[in-house]
Amino acid sequence: MKYSSLFEFDKNGKYIRQISSLGQGPGEYIVLEEFCINKKKREIYLLDLHKKILAYDIDTGKYLRTINYKLDMSSSHYITFFILCVG
């Protein structure tokens, strides 16, 4: 499924913030495919199918960095994404 924003809520369902960075510049994504949370590193990862994974701070929602990958038929970007998610 493809999305344009990620909405964050606390465990009681209270809205915290929205992460929405559509575009082609630094810290922006074109097609948000998946997301995951790495509690150990306190980071949220967004998978953009246009060759990058964006990392955000779990506490502030602030953009931290972009992790680029090569898109190929082996789905290696999902493997990279999974490794980041599990820490």
- What structural domains and CATH numbers belong to the chain? 6-86 (2.40.10)
Among all chains, which residue has been given the structure tokens 């680029």? 68
Model pLDDT for residues 4-63, shown as the tens digit of each residue:
788 888 889 999 988 888 888 888 888 888 888 898 999 999 888 777 889 999 999 999
CA atoms within 13 A on the CB side of 50: 12
Which carries the bigger pLDDT value, residue 42 or residue 74?
A: 42
CA 24 to chain centre: 15
Per-residue confidence (pLDDT) for residue 69, from 0 to 100:
74
Question: What is this structure's pTM?
Answer: 0.76
Sheet hosting strand 52-57, strand order edge to edge: 32-38, 43-48, 52-57, 63-68
